[in-house]
Chains A and B, each alone.
Chain A
């Protein structure tokens, strides 16, 4: 271990060794140089063992025809990736993943913002209501999925029974892809809305009450206050919530897995998601080479979405502190303004230097 940690510092400190005065000098210098790295090393060692190694090993396996039991594999290059990308099932799974993600995240966030703003008001038994919204989050996802799958039963499910009593046609919750996504998104929403409410509520409480007082004095109603004060101050928090729900949404697994008994995504892959496909390939067919390739494809997709998110975030968030460096467009405008001003004062070639 020590050899690897000394390596970076060692090369630079060696020429100076001649100037060493006493016995302690060298050691204390080592202490100075090494200790910080030693103190933070547990995290990196642990991460290398449980994080980096599996990721790298997955990459290795994804280029192989891997036999889990015998622990042997045959190198086959990009064949697994080509196979996965050539499967209609994969593209269906991708479609389903995004569809379920959108159906869950969008309504979830809208409802969460709305409920959070209600809880932010002066209501009786505040803590009770605030804790109440978190109850679904505490429930095990598998238990939630079991109960909901029962409710969404095509023939004897409680929801279709209700629908039929008011004289409507029963909804094909399983055979129709869209409705199966709605059902699964409902489970996700049930579980995660409360969590998002609490985060948004915390952000709302941080908004200075002075704004609202001032707005009330100016005659703004609650709706105007919500759109003009609450919502703009929520932006940074919203971005955080959107990113976390994106990552969670793209990895959705428990709910579709528990949606029917075989748990393989439906007879026509109606609600097969990428991570469910990955699980079926690995643990159903024992084809770990292909599952590893799928895992890497999923990893790259999430990475891509993450990068897109980052760009969107940069353009959306305008935090009030103003520590953000000005964008190129703003710099250009500012420069033009300055130039115009100085040109008006002293029209010379070094006008900009002067004005600064």
Chain B
């Protein structure tokens, strides 16, 4: 063999070994969850804070010695969402994947790719929690974890300045009724103090539209009905009429809104359980925030999550068992103690630990019993189809345009209509 031939064959060897390395690299991620001696590893992927601490998960592996539970936490629900849809049709998802109601309609489109929840568990959760995650074949695809029943948060000190009652029970009585009642009180507050009553039209609208059974789409056909639905226009007009004088016009989650929470820029806001932490985090030194056991127009829910088991996983049955255990009332009560996530299980709502929970920052309000009652006041699960979030996002922008003063209500509505018509 001469020199060049040697060089060539050496090159071939190098190429083959490089290819082998690449292949080995690809293969290594598949072999881990293998089941030697019946031992399995289950992965659980969540985001933010579900309250599933290592100690809680250890309880499960102690009771099931053959199971190792690995918990991966994504920073935000958006990261989890991107990951979920990239891998759902392929591979690489955890055995149990958490999803948020915000993207539940998108998940429902692929409900056939998820292992359904066994029928015997269906009455564990509140009806509306189950209905929202049940597909047209009557398969429930998510194990409910937490919910966001809404109450009204208010600034007791600002109420006092306006001559309104400050006591929790009195405020509850004052605000009981429909949205017209809420805006009426707002009008009184604004006239007396000259200061805004609620944070933004967008946030308030969200609470109102969530009480409409089928706001934007026909549940049977999936056709977009948003622009012709008189309820939508009525709410739009109502909230914008009040917004003129009563809104602080601070878009939710904006930097100005964060600052406004501490600054007293508005006196009330719609308040699901998880919002308490947001308010406290942004307004540490403010003492006036309190919470009233009332929500205009009946109950309302904002947010919440489910656990899903992708049907392509390696250990689907073991994963279903773990998801069942994690979302059982006992474990969700522990999760509530860990992170404040409000449980969605019927039994958990009457649990003593939950009912006794109070929040020091909110003037020692009995938040456990308040949110338990607010959860039971929710009666319907609004239909959210595939296009719900695009339509709703456009609506939020329409409201913001009016609040910012760049368009009047009619122009903005017309632009929204044309935007909704363009969605396809």
Closest chain-B Cβ to A152's Cβ sits at a distance in Å of: 9
Select which of A30, A87, A175, A266 is within 8 A of B422 by beta carbon: A87
Given A69-B110, A155-B260, A267-B398, A31:B89 Cβ within 8 A: no
Given A155-B260, A286-B106, A68:B85 Cβ within 8 A: yes
User: Whose C-beta in chain B lies nearest to the C-beta of A154?
Assistant: B256
Q: Which residues between 231 and 273 of chain B lie within 8 Å of chain A, taking CB atoms?
A: 250-256, 259-260, 263, 265
Given A68-B85, A155-B250, A285-B390, A268:B406 Cβ within 8 A: yes
Select which of B255, B422, B424 is within 8 A of A150 by beta carbon: B255
The answer to whether B397 and A31 have CB atoms under 8 Å apart is no
Given A156-B256, A268-B407, A286:B85 Cβ within 8 A: yes
- Which label, helix, strand, loop or mixed, suits the secondary structure of the B interface? helix
The answer to whether B256 and A155 have CB atoms under 8 Å apart is yes
Q: Does A220 sit within 8 A of B, measured CB to CB?
A: no
User: Whose C-beta in chain A lies nearest to the C-beta of B254?
Assistant: A261
Select which of A68, A69, A175 is within 8 A of B405 by beta carbon: A175
Q: Does A153 sit within 8 A of B, measured CB to CB?
A: yes
The answer to whether B4 and A28 have CB atoms under 8 Å apart is yes
Given A31-B7, A68-B85, A174:B255 Cβ within 8 A: no
Closest chain-B Cβ to A94's Cβ sits at a distance in Å of: 17
Q: Which residues between 11 and 25 of chain A lie within 8 Å of chain B, taking CB atoms?
A: 23-24
Count of residues in A whose CB is under 8 Å from the partner chain: 35
Given the complex, which residues of B lie within 8 Å of A157, measured CB to CB?
A: 255-256
Q: Does B86 sit within 8 A of A, measured CB to CB?
A: yes
A154–B4 alpha-carbon span in the complex (Å):
72
Q: Does A38 sit within 8 A of B, measured CB to CB?
A: yes
The answer to whether A175 and B406 have CB atoms under 8 Å apart is yes
User: Whose C-beta in chain B lies nearest to the C-beta of A155?
Assistant: B256
The answer to whether A283 and B259 have CB atoms under 8 Å apart is no
> C-beta contact mask, A162-191 vs B, less than 8 Å → 1, else 0?
000000000010111000000000000000
Q: Does A121 sit within 8 A of B, measured CB to CB?
A: no
The answer to whether B256 and A153 have CB atoms under 8 Å apart is yes
Q: Does A70 sit within 8 A of B, measured CB to CB?
A: yes
Q: Which residues between 202 and 231 of chain A lie within 8 Å of chain B, taking CB atoms?
A: none
Given A156-B260, A260-B251, A71:B90 Cβ within 8 A: yes
The answer to whether A175 and B404 have CB atoms under 8 Å apart is yes
A174–B400 alpha-carbon span in the complex (Å):
11
The answer to whether B8 and A31 have CB atoms under 8 Å apart is yes
> C-beta contact mask, B133-152 vs A, less than 8 Å → 1, else 0?
00000000000000000000
Q: Which residues between 61 and 94 of chain B lie within 8 Å of chain A, taking CB atoms?
A: 82, 85-86, 88-90
A104–B106 alpha-carbon span in the complex (Å):
38
Q: Does A193 sit within 8 A of B, measured CB to CB?
A: no
Given the complex, which residues of A lie within 8 Å of B11, measured CB to CB?
A: 38
The answer to whether A172 and B404 have CB atoms under 8 Å apart is yes
The answer to whether A261 and B253 have CB atoms under 8 Å apart is yes
> C-beta contact mask, A125-157 vs B, less than 8 Å → 1, else 0?
000000000000000000000000110011111
Given the complex, which residues of A lie within 8 Å of B255, measured CB to CB?
A: 149-150, 153, 156-157
The answer to whether A155 and B259 have CB atoms under 8 Å apart is yes
Q: Which residues between 53 and 112 of chain A lie within 8 Å of chain B, taking CB atoms?
A: 68-71, 83, 87
Q: Does B393 sit within 8 A of A, measured CB to CB?
A: yes
> C-beta contact mask, B103-137 vs A, less than 8 Å → 1, else 0?
00010011001000000000000000000000000
Closest chain-B Cβ to A4's Cβ sits at a distance in Å of: 14
A229–B109 alpha-carbon span in the complex (Å):
66
The answer to whether B254 and A260 have CB atoms under 8 Å apart is yes
A27–B259 alpha-carbon span in the complex (Å):
76
Select which of B82, B256, B404, B422 is within 8 A of A283 by beta carbon: B82
A27–B15 alpha-carbon span in the complex (Å):
19
The answer to whether B390 and A268 have CB atoms under 8 Å apart is no
Given the complex, which residues of A lie within 8 Å of B85, measured CB to CB?
A: 68-69, 286
> C-beta contact mask, B382-408 vs A, less than 8 Å → 1, else 0?
000000001001001110110011110
Q: Does B2 sit within 8 A of A, measured CB to CB?
A: yes
Q: Does B23 sit within 8 A of A, measured CB to CB?
A: no
Which 5 A-B pairs rank lowest in CB-CB distance, beginning with the nearest? A267-B400, A175-B404, A261-B253, A267-B397, A156-B259
- Cβ contacts A to B, 11 pairs, < 8 Å: A23-B2, A31-B8, A69-B88, A69-B89, A83-B424, A87-B422, A150-B255, A268-B397, A268-B406, A268-B415, A286-B106
Name 14 extra pairs, CB < 8 A, besides A155-B259, A157-B255, A268-B415: A24-B4, A27-B2, A27-B4, A31-B7, A68-B89, A153-B255, A155-B250, A155-B260, A156-B263, A260-B254, A264-B397, A267-B406, A268-B401, A268-B407
